[in-house]
Structure 1
Amino acid sequence: MIVLKSPEEIELMRTAGKVNLEIFEGLKQFIRPGTTTMDIDRYVEEAVKSHGMIASEKGYCGFPANVCTSVNEEVVHGIPSKDRVLNEGDIVSVDLVVEYEHYMADSCRTFGVGRISDEAQRLIDTAERAFFEGIRFAKEGCRLHDISHRIQEIVEGEGFGVIRDYTGHGIGSEMHEDPPIPNYGKAGKGPRLQKGMTLAIEPMIVQGSYETETLLNNWTVVTEDGGWAAHYENTVAITDGEPDILTI
């Protein structure tokens, strides 16, 4: 069941989303060669607590950290570790859910570590562009898969692959709500978008095959062929006009 949000509920989510944005702006300077993924987790933990909010990923289905940190061929759900040192040229996706007054905002960015290759930068940029092209259809009256289809067009047009096994999702007082939001599909399909829907739209794209596997820790998802992955996400509210991005 898709839960429509009131203007007051959306404002609570926006308040959380402002913290997401602030943290990502700080991580642009914080992440550098020699940083560990556990350093990132601690940075986020302190920043969220300083606002009196909650990092909702910690403890979710047993997840042990405040954020997911996915490096290079890791697509999603990477677990921060003091032993995972970021090197010059790596890329790392940081996925963060902040909760305020029982309402959540979810976003992700992929950061380059030091100087990265042109191809890695193109991968990151394509994920971001696919998001903004996709949300051109995040309007009342459009179909959900209009967003999905446009994301797929952009990503595959650049020669990259779109992850099939994981999707975006509705969000609000629960981290994962209906509807699931694939990053591929046919236009004109899926539920019709309505004012009050709040969606975590998140292109997850890869250099090669979209086939994935999960590591023995039962969390970290990697590409089967070792291709690198980028992930760009924001929480978006559907209005009677243009989409309202709550995490920017």
Structure 2
Amino acid sequence: MPATLDLNDGTRLPSVGLGLYKVPIAQTSEVTLAGIEAGYRLIDGASFYGNERELGEAIRSSGRRDDLLVASKFWGDPVQSRAQALEDFAETERELGIGPLDLYLIHWPRSSRGAFVDVWRGFIELQQQGRVRTIGVANFEADDLRRLIDETGVVPALNQVESHPWLPQHALRSFHDEHGIVTQAWSPLGRGRLLDDPTLVRIAAKHAVSVAQIVLRWHLQLGGAAVVKSVHPERLRQNLDLDGFELDDDDLATIAALESGQRTGTHPRDRQ
């Protein structure tokens, strides 16, 4: 079972979480419960995913609420403002129905709108009110993070960004390390496109594990976290089985050579 990481607010984050992006509404409860049964203790949701009600129902029926960290995100479109963030958070509270939220993120900075600092101040209020335990961001670049920190004095606990061997985000990770921000990867497997990469297939055969396990182990050895999605119980279990092997220096050097800068999702500057 992967370890947990210390966050800068004194809480801890499971290194590997179960993501619910594009999990169909009709399957959300089943997938969530299968994930909990497999051992996931972080469930990563968002209002944009459209399945928060079903996520909440699964959490309540599991009887494991106290063991779980549940995350959601503020979408910020068509309106990105402090008032809209507070309104959307209240809707997430109603949809989930699980009490205080564990983790709430700004889904996209939408930098050209110039409102994300105001939104962040609303997040700080929610944390001070005890309605959310940990606050963070997603898809923020270093300049966005620097502005948040300079203007509010509150450092996000984590930044969830696209990251995988094609796009390791080394410069951003270094900025995170300097400021005590955890790097949490979305699309940690390159939306599945990395699973057929011949180099990774060879490394997986060497360790007698799946390519997904190799890539997730790579994320952990970089010192970060990852949110991975699957609707298949066996793959859910396999993606948590990361303790029985370790990537050696040759493996890490070989994987490093795969860096190309290729994205499989939207660049933050293209989501405004």
TM-score by length of 1: 0.29
Structure number with larger C-alpha Rg:
2
Q: Which has the higher helix share?
A: 2
Q: TM-score, with normalisation over the residues of structure 2?
A: 0.27
